Structure 1
Amino acid sequence: MEENRKVRIAAVGDVHVRESDKGKWTDYFKEVSQKADVLLICGDLTDTGDEGEAEVLAEELKACSVPVIGVLGNHDFEKGRHKLIRQILQNNNMTILDGEAIVIHGIGFAGVKGFGGGFDGHMLSMFGEGAMKAFVQEAVDEALHLDRALARLDQEHENIKKIAVLHYAPIKETVIGEPEQIFPFLGSSRLAEPLSRRNVIAAFHGHAHVGQLEGETSGGVKVYNVAKQILGKAGYEYPFFILEV
């Protein structure tokens, strides 16, 4: 990349690829390749967590000529085959981040699935039954994995621009529109703290199919809910969001 040229980041989430989708994504990935320098897919890569769906996505991604980075979503865990799904996609030129980071075109991308737990003053606390503590601990662990991945980018690359790739939401603002009763299952404010502390430029997530496209952490980090369903409703002919960095 030329030093002064901006990098065009395309992002989408919740593609929910099915085994019947063969050939349906070819034009989409060709369009992404013309409009962007890198593609982020923010979880729910498959519809029912079946490796056959991952194989279809891997085949469709052959039409994409730019680097593809993603994280897994809750749907990818449905049948306990998430490791196999990750392996299939990693073997087919897609990078799946799970507490890791990668540098492409001089930009650092750190990714985790994330987890629920609620937002702001309504976050679940580490109190009560073991099952409740385990639920909260999962969100804490995911936030720690994100923080470590971002920290590694800072250690290895001076003044690098950083982007976070998530499935669950780090702020309430981008899930507003969903029923408030399910907010605790859509994301956690614990994921927002590393974004501000590590001076992330922007964070992308999905999971909430009904929500807001744009929001911001209390520390001023831009957050984008790029669930395919939201982009479709916003009038995007090809549902992917473009951010120039």
Structure 2
Amino acid sequence: MIERKKIRIAALGDIHAKLSDKGMFRPIFEQVSREADVLVICGDLTDTGDEDEAKILGEEMQALQIPVVGVLGNHDYEKGRQKIIKQILVDHRMTILDGEAIVIAGIGFAGVKGFGGGFDKYMLSIFGEDMMKGFVHEVVNESLQLDRALARLEQEHPELPKIAILHYSPIKETIEGEPVEIFPFLGSSHLAEPLNRRKVTVAFHGHAHCGKLQGHTTMDIPVYNVALPVLKKENIETPYYIIEV
């Protein structure tokens, strides 16, 4: 039996590109192109959800020599221009997933932004005012989209490893360090359900800048919080985290 070649996945999140950042990311993208086979970016690509910020990032991405795939984050929705931001980055050869799946370098990737809702026995329930129900419905819908995308990979490419890309966290462990009061706004256990059900190889997220690098779901699926501030806090030598799959 021929041994499958290991693929090096580099992941980071919360780039928060600003208009003043021209030239800042190019050296990072040049470096990661030498060290990895695929780059994953877990949302908050822009700082204020402005299309000019996306243009700056897109121009910097021209230095990439490897495929890049990711999701949008809450900051990218700030001005309601998320569709424009997505198109700008797609035009610069980035694949942005929103309930879709794609195969790159023999790895299946599925992604959604995700949403809040809380964790474990403290998850918010679909009860009460319409606004509260809508809040919970949002993360349930995101979870269902992720499950469908992973299911497609499972059906069409059962032999391939599966990686989930999120912005919001699917577990409490990787947001610990943040104020407990804002946990419901940093992610939800609903997002962990498809990870466990579809037995993904690994999941990446960002969003929680004061969280922890690594945790696991209840079924021992590894989850990494690759927000840039977390990588800096954990003294990761590079502004991205690399695993081999």
| 1:105-124 correspondence to structure 2 within 5 Å | 105-124=105-124
Match of 2:58 in 1: 58
TM-superposed deviation, 1:233: 1.4
* Count of residues paired in the alignment: 244
* Residue type of the alignment partner of 2:152: R
The superposition leaves residues 18-51 of structure 1 with CA deviations (integer Å, 9 ceiling, x where unpaired) of 0111111111001110110000000000000000
SS of equivalent residue, structure 1 residue 196 = helix
* Residue type of the alignment partner of 2:244: E
SS of equivalent residue, structure 1 residue 223 = strand
| 1:1-245 correspondence to structure 2 within 5 Å | 4-245=4-245
- Structure 2: segments with no counterpart, 5+ residues: none
**C-alpha distance in structure 1 between counterparts of 2:100 and 2:148, whole Å:** 8
The superposition leaves residues 84-120 of structure 1 with CA deviations (integer Å, 9 ceiling, x where unpaired) of 0000001110000000011011110000000000000
**C-alpha distance in structure 2 between counterparts of 1:19 and 1:71, whole Å:** 21
**C-alpha distance in structure 1 between counterparts of 2:108 and 2:23, whole Å:** 32
**C-alpha distance in structure 1 between counterparts of 2:174 and 2:240, whole Å:** 16
**C-alpha distance in structure 2 between counterparts of 1:67 and 1:19, whole Å:** 24
* Residue type of the alignment partner of 2:228: K
SS of equivalent residue, structure 2 residue 215 = strand
TM-superposed deviation, 1:160: 1.6
* Residue type of the alignment partner of 2:222: K
TM-superposed deviation, 1:239: 1.1
* Residue type of the alignment partner of 2:177: G
SS of equivalent residue, structure 1 residue 192 = helix
SS of equivalent residue, structure 1 residue 219 = coil
SS of equivalent residue, structure 1 residue 224 = strand
**C-alpha distance in structure 2 between counterparts of 1:21 and 1:157, whole Å:** 39
**C-alpha distance in structure 2 between counterparts of 1:204 and 1:97, whole Å:** 13
SS of equivalent residue, structure 2 residue 69 = strand
**C-alpha distance in structure 1 between counterparts of 2:237 and 2:192, whole Å:** 30
- Structure 1: segments with no counterpart, 5+ residues: none
- After TM superposition, where is structure 1 displaced by more than 3 Å over at least 4 residues in a row? none
**C-alpha distance in structure 2 between counterparts of 1:225 and 1:8, whole Å:** 17
**C-alpha distance in structure 2 between counterparts of 1:242 and 1:216, whole Å:** 17
**C-alpha distance in structure 2 between counterparts of 1:120 and 1:86, whole Å:** 32
* Residue type of the alignment partner of 1:237: E
**C-alpha distance in structure 1 between counterparts of 2:148 and 2:118, whole Å:** 22
* Residue type of the alignment partner of 1:4: R
Q: Name the TM-score, length of structure 2 as normaliser.
A: 0.98
TM-superposed deviation, 1:5: 1.9
**C-alpha distance in structure 2 between counterparts of 1:48 and 1:105, whole Å:** 32
The superposition leaves residues 199-227 of structure 1 with CA deviations (integer Å, 9 ceiling, x where unpaired) of 10000000000011000000110000000
TM-superposed deviation, 1:238: 2.5
TM-superposed deviation, 1:159: 2.2
Please, what is the CA RMSD of the aligned residues?
A: 0.9
